[in-house]
């Protein structure tokens, strides 16, 4: 083999090795080595969120499974980046762990001075509402039949209303995650809160502050956060809310866009309702939900005038988050969160 040909072959081998070391090729290797996740161009996401492949597993058990998938694909984990933590100025995910990986020594690939790759499995929050919606939609579909000519009656907090379908809503600014439908029109708006482990810290915020920054309590909170940051008193703060109307807006949504029901827990279900004399009716149903091991969750109706309380009590809360802005504070996220989430970190301070 001539010197020129050897050089050419070497360049091809190095180019192929470089390609294999790219993040996309690592994702593809992991994608091919298991049957739960697919690569969507930026992270691994569940092929079928409704399958709930990790239901009932503790976070540390899921973590072990992900590490096993990475190792099966020929890589080793050399570190874990928690949600919201930046590496060289980049936050890979605000919701999931990211795994720092290199080729396994047994992969027979050159790994001298290999640049680590960062791999994220998008599973918990992205899939949660899809799983919850699918469970509700499938149950309604079975009850009403394919032609939807035999609607069921579902309790909206005040009365039973006819329902023949469920529609996924979601999207920016939408308070409802699911609408129960009749003849193509929404009749019950539902906000789904995924509490997989039965803890308030499972869910995200009740609502943002973009439309409430002139509210006296919100304004005072932001001013005090600015002062606390200047004083070096930390970067995570919370405060109780005194104004019931502010809480209600965060939980139910603004006027004209309010939901009828909050469903917080694992999988929503339809329970056959009892009539006035205690007998069941095959066409009358109430919404119920599974509760995780932590015991937090339930179903709340707006017309009852009661808000979720205890660990789910809405409070003002702020924490550092890249690209967010709280009243001019760049890199600080603020909102109305459940108190159980706001106080889940020992470094969060009440101000």
Q: What is the pLDDT of residues 106-119, one digit of tens each?
A: 655 555 557 889 99
User: Are the C-beta atoms of 145 and 129 separated by less than 8 Å?
Assistant: no
CB atoms closer than 10 angstroms to residue 35: 10
Q: Are residues 69 and 150 in the same domain?
A: no
Last residue of a domain, one of 94, 122, 150: 122
Q: How confident is the model at residue 49 (pLDDT cuts 50, 70, 90)?
A: low
Q: Please check the confidence at residue 318 and state whether its pLDDT lies above 70.
A: yes
Last residue of a domain, one of 75, 102, 122: 122
- Note if the pTM is more than 0.85: no
Q: How confident is the model at residue 216 (pLDDT cuts 50, 70, 90)?
A: very high
Structure tokens at 116: 């680590």
Question: What total number of domains does the chain contain?
Answer: 2
Q: How far apart are CA 117 and CA 24, in angstroms?
A: 9
Q: How far is CA 156 from CA 189, 254, 351, in A?
A: 9, 19, 38
Q: Please check the confidence at residue 267 and state whether its pLDDT lies above 80.
A: yes
Structure tokens at 219: 């304004």
Predicted confidence at residue 221, as pLDDT, reads 97
Question: What range does the domain containing 231 cover?
Answer: 127-350
Predicted confidence at residue 241, as pLDDT, reads 98
Q: How far apart are CA 114 and CA 122, in angstroms?
A: 25
Q: How confident is the model at residue 127 (pLDDT cuts 50, 70, 90)?
A: low
Q: Are residues 13 and 93 in the same domain?
A: yes
Q: Are residues 111 and 148 in the same domain?
A: no
Q: Please check the confidence at residue 191 and state whether its pLDDT lies above 60.
A: yes
Predicted confidence at residue 19, as pLDDT, reads 45
Q: Please check the confidence at residue 194 and state whether its pLDDT lies above 60.
A: yes
Predicted confidence at residue 125, as pLDDT, reads 39
* Residue in the structure block whose two tokens are 């279900």: 269
Q: Are residues 202 and 338 in the same domain?
A: yes
Q: Are residues 269 and 294 in the same domain?
A: yes
Q: pLDDT averaged over the chain?
A: 84
Q: Please check the confidence at residue 284 and state whether its pLDDT lies above 70.
A: yes
* Residue in the structure block whose two tokens are 């809405």: 314
Last residue of a domain, one of 105, 122, 139: 122
> Which one, of 335, 317, 344, 337, lies nearest residue 197 by Cα?
344
Q: How far apart are CA 272 and CA 139, in angstroms?
A: 12
Average pLDDT over residues 120-148: 78
Predicted confidence at residue 282, as pLDDT, reads 66
Q: Are residues 246 and 150 in the same domain?
A: yes
Predicted confidence at residue 152, as pLDDT, reads 95
Average pLDDT over residues 173-195: 89
User: Are the C-beta atoms of 46 and 75 separated by less than 8 Å?
Assistant: no
Q: Please check the confidence at residue 61 and state whether its pLDDT lies above 80.
A: no
Q: Are residues 159 and 38 in the same domain?
A: no
Q: Are residues 134 and 57 in the same domain?
A: no
Predicted confidence at residue 5, as pLDDT, reads 59
Q: Are residues 94 and 174 in the same domain?
A: no
Q: How confident is the model at residue 146 (pLDDT cuts 50, 70, 90)?
A: confident
Q: How far apart are CA 41 and CA 265, in angstroms?
A: 31
Q: Please check the confidence at residue 53 and state whether its pLDDT lies above 70.
A: yes
The residues, ordered by sequence, that sit 6+ positions from 62 with a Cβ below 8 Å of its Cβ are: 54, 123
Q: Are residues 84 and 188 in the same domain?
A: no
Q: How confident is the model at residue 20 (pLDDT cuts 50, 70, 90)?
A: very low
Q: Are residues 152 and 220 in the same domain?
A: yes
Q: Are residues 107 and 32 in the same domain?
A: yes
User: Who has greater pLDDT, 170 or 290?
Assistant: 290
User: Who has greater pLDDT, 65 or 171?
Assistant: 65
Predicted confidence at residue 186, as pLDDT, reads 94
Q: Among 74-83, 104-113, 202-211, whose mean pLDDT is lowest? A: 104-113
**Percentage of residues of the chain with pLDDT beyond 70:** 82
Q: Please check the confidence at residue 27 and state whether its pLDDT lies above 70.
A: yes
């Amino acid at each position: 083999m001539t010197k020129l040909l050897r050089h050419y072959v070497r360049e091809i081998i190095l180019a192929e090795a470089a390609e294999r070391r790219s993040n996309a090729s690592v994702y593809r290797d992991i994608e091919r080595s298991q049957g739960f996740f697919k690569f969507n161009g930026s992270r691994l996401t569940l092929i079928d969120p409704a399958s709930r492949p990790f239901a009932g597993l503790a976070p540390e058990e899921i973590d072990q499974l992900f590490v096993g998938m990475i190792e099966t694909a020929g890589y080793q984990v050399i570190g874990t980046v928690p949600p919201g933590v930046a590496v060289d100025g980049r936050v890979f995910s605000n919701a999931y762990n990211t795994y720092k990986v290199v080729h396994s020594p047994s992969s027979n690939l050159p790994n001298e001075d290999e640049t680590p790759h960062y791999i994220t499995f998008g599973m918990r929050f992205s899939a949660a509402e899809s799983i919850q919606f699918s469970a509700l939609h499938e149950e309604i579909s079975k009850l009403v039949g394919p032609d939807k000519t035999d609607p069921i009656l579902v309790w909206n907090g005040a009365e039973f209303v006819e329902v023949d379908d469920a529609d996924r809503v979601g999207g920016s600014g939408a308070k409802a995650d699911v609408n129960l439908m009749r003849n193509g029109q929404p009749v019950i708006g539902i906000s789904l809160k995924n509490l997989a482990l039965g803890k308030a810290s499972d869910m995200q915020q009740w609502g943002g502050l973009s439309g409430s920054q002139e509210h006296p309590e919100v304004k005072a909170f932001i001013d005090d956060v600015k002062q606390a940051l200047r004083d070096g008193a930390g970067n995570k703060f919370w405060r109780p809310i005194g104004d019931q109307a502010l809480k209600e807006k965060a939980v139910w949504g603004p006027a004209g866009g309010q939901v009828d029901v909050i469903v917080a827990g694992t999988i929503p279900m339809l329970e056959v309702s009892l009539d006035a004399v205690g007998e069941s009716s095959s066409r009358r149903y109430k919404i119920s939900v599974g509760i995780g091991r932590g015991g937090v969750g339930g179903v709340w109706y707006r017309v009852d005038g009661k808000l979720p309380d205890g660990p789910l009590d809405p409070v003002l809360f702020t924490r550092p988050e890249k690209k967010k802005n709280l009243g001019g504070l760049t890199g600080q996220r603020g909102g109305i969160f459940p108190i159980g989430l706001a106080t889940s970190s020992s470094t969060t301070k009440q101000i």
